[in-house]
């Protein structure tokens, strides 16, 4: 029986991918001042970033356990294997929401073939995993193969990104006020990555002109065989920089398959407009 893949909107894939791959999506909740939206459903990234630039306060919350109920019930009632690959559990409560509903469903259907996997990844790094496992599922891959491939890609996924304005990281509690002021005055651009599911500062680069070259250099240090893998570039309303990065990725890394997407609310609400990230499989991937 074909395996069903479930994702949440923090995977930052555009709707065409979900439709093409037949992936069901649970949206992250977005709060802008006193109004509530659903990420990618009732608000799109470009609109969210425009509101952030206007000084609106943007926060997010994970989907409730109820958001997973319909998909989990269908799996249980039809005995259809379902795998939910989640956003990093250390950065969001979405994984825990899914686990709560899984427990509730299995009280009624103990043998329900529901599986929940924490990818430890974010944004398009998470999205590339969804693409890989959904393609495998659509080709008739077994449950065991899909879980194994998904975990393997999650283990080897690299996320290298920079932010345009340190103020947003300060507002979200990811950076202290002194560091944000000093960084802005010195024109320091941070390069961040994901380590053990957490967002961490990798290094600081002075001046925006050097930042993309340094991202490429880090990719060379950490990755290989770029011609034979899919790379992702994700941006927060920063298409021009994303396009320049794509050119460099083709020229310097020899990559052929590059996906560009917009950064959604899962990360974008905390990092702000201007973010650009490169995601790829590291050199431990074979």
Q: What is the rounded CA–CA span in Å between residue 187 and residue 204?
A: 10
Which of 155, 173, 188 is the C-terminal boundary of a domain? Answer: 155
Same domain, 231 and 118: no
Which of 122, 138, 155 is the C-terminal boundary of a domain? Answer: 155
Q: What is the rounded CA–CA span in Å between residue 57 and residue 52?
A: 7
Same domain, 165 and 220: yes
Same domain, 122 and 18: yes
What per-residue confidence (pLDDT) applies to 183? 46
Would 54 be classed as within a structural domain?
A: no
Place of tokens 């201007």: 274
What band does 127 get if pLDDT is binned at 50, 70 and 90? very high
Same domain, 100 and 116: yes
Give the domain extent around 98: 4-28+63-155
Q: What is the pLDDT of residues 51-106, one digit of tens each?
A: 999 999 899 999 999 999 999 999 999 999 999 999 999 988 999 999 999 999 99
Considering its fold, how many domains does the chain have in total?
2
Same domain, 143 and 241: no
Would 87 be classed as within a structural domain?
A: yes
**CATH number, domain containing residue 164:** 3.30.1180.10
What band does 173 get if pLDDT is binned at 50, 70 and 90? low
What band does 190 get if pLDDT is binned at 50, 70 and 90? confident
Which of 98, 130, 155 is the C-terminal boundary of a domain? Answer: 155
Same domain, 112 and 223: no
What is the average pLDDT across 218-226?
94
Check: pTM over 0.85? Answer yes or no.
yes
Same domain, 169 and 232: yes
Q: Give the lowest-confidence range in 28-42, 165-179, 182-196.
A: 165-179
């Amino acid at each position: 029986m074909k395996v069903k893949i479930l994702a949440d909107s923090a995977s930052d894939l555009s709707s065409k991918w979900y439709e093409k791959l037949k992936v069901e999506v649970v949206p992250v909740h977005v709060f802008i001042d006193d109004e509530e939206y659903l990420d990618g459903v009732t608000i799109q990234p470009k609109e969210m970033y425009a509101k952030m630039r206007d000084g609106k306060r943007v926060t997010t919350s994970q989907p409730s356990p109820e958001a997973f109920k319909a998909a989990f019930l269908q799996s249980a009632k039809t005995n259809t294997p379902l795998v939910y690959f989640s956003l990093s559990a250390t950065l969001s409560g979405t994984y825990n929401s899914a686990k709560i509903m899984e427990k509730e469903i299995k009280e009624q259907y103990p043998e329900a073939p529901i599986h929940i996997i924490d990818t430890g990844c974010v944004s398009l790094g998470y999205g590339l995993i969804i693409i890989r496992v959904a393609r495998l599922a659509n080709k008739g891959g077994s449950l065991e193969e899909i879980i194994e491939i998904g975990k393997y890609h999650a283990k080897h996924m690299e996320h290298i990104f920079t932010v345009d304005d340190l103020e947003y990281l300060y507002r979200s509690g990811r950076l202290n006020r002194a560091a944000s002021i000093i960084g802005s005055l010195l024109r320091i651009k941070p390069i961040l990555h994901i380590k053990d599911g957490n967002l961490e500062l990798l290094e600081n680069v002075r001046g925006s002109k050097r930042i993309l070259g340094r991202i490429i250099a880090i990719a060379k240090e950490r990755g290989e065989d770029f011609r034979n893998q899919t790379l992702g570039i994700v941006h927060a309303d920063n298409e021009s920089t994303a396009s320049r990065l794509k050119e460099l990725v083709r020229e310097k890394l020899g990559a052929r398959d590059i996906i560009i997407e917009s950064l959604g609310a899962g990360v974008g609400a905390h990092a702000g407009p201007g973010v650009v990230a490169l995601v790829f499989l590291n050199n431990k991937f074979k």
